Amino acid sequence: AMRSLAELSELERTRFVSPWERAILYLAMKDRDKCFEQLFLAWQDRFFDRSLLAVDPRFDDVRDDVRFEKLLHVVGLR
């Protein structure tokens, strides 16, 4: 995951990299704070399919976090 984050940083020099991509990597690394930071940025950029949040099993570990509920509310899924 760390190598992938470094690769994203390198790619970002020449093209747009969505915060969604970083959020997924931070999620895999169990870094909830950075994951949610990136998810909210992705929402602000309108650069992810919001319906994924409700069903994507990758988010199972953070569904109990109040920030997850807040994000679902903000994107209109609650």
If you search the block for the tokens 């679902």, which residue do you land on?
Answer: 72
46: left (phi over 0), alpha (psi -120 to 50) or beta: left
Is the pLDDT at 2 greater than 90? The verdict is no
Three-state SS for 71?
helix
Is the pLDDT at 50 greater than 90? The verdict is no
Is the pLDDT at 18 greater than 90? The verdict is no
Residue with the bigger pLDDT between 51 and 5: it is: 5
Q: What is the pLDDT of residue 37?
A: 95
Is the pLDDT at 33 greater than 90? The verdict is yes
Is the pLDDT at 60 greater than 90? The verdict is yes
**Cα separation of 30 and 19, whole Å?**
16
